[in-house]
């Protein structure tokens, strides 16, 4: 399934490339189960299939378990920002900085969205 325009999450992840998003949009229970199992192993928590369904971070609809409680997303919403790239505090933000240490590609995505 090709999505016309990528959905960039508040943190810089690309929702439209995420297996949870793909499973939700395609109504693919098998992919959702596979994603739940992979996340359970990767993050050492018990992720249920019901925790996987997600329509994307920045759009209305379902959120996977983590996105629904994400402090990065909550901060961006509180500030009425599409994502962290639009935030004046972005360069020195400790919340997103910690995330970037784990997911450097998210920083690359947000850096590309920053005003020149």
Query: How does pLDDT run across 57-114, given as a tens digit for each residue?
Result: 888 899 998 888 899 999 999 999 999 999 999 999 999 999 999 899 999 999 999 9
Cβ-Cβ contacts under 8 Å for 98 (sequence gap 6 or more): none
C-alpha 1/C-alpha 79 separation (Å) is 32
pTM comes to 0.85
Q: What is the pLDDT of residue 43?
A: 87
Query: How does pLDDT run across 3-59, given as a tens digit for each residue?
Result: 568 999 999 999 999 999 999 999 999 999 999 999 999 889 999 999 999 999 888
Query: Does 44 reside within a domain?
Result: yes
Query: Does 4 reside within a domain?
Result: no
Q: Which domain holds residue 73?
A: 15-110
What's the structural domain count of the chain? 1
Query: Does 6 reside within a domain?
Result: no
Query: Does 101 reside within a domain?
Result: yes
CB 6 within 8 A of CB 16: yes
C-alpha 112/C-alpha 116 separation (Å) is 9
Query: Does 85 reside within a domain?
Result: yes
The percentage of the chain sitting over the pLDDT mark of 70, rounded to a whole number, equals: 97
Query: Does 57 reside within a domain?
Result: yes
């Amino acid at each position: 399934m090709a999505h016309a325009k990528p959905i960039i999450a508040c943190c810089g992840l690309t929702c439209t490339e995420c297996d949870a998003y793909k499973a939700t949009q395609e109504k693919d229970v098998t992919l959702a189960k596979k994603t739940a199992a992979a996340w359970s192993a990767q993050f050492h928590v018990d992720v249920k299939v019901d925790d996987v369904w997600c329509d994307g971070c920045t759009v209305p609809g379902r959120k996977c378990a983590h996105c629904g409680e994400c402090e990065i997303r909550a901060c961006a919403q509180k500030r009425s920002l599409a994502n962290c790239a639009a935030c004046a505090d972005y360069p020195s933000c400790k919340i997103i900085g910690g995330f970037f240490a784990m997911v450097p590609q998210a920083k690359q995505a947000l850096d590309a969205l920053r005003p020149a």
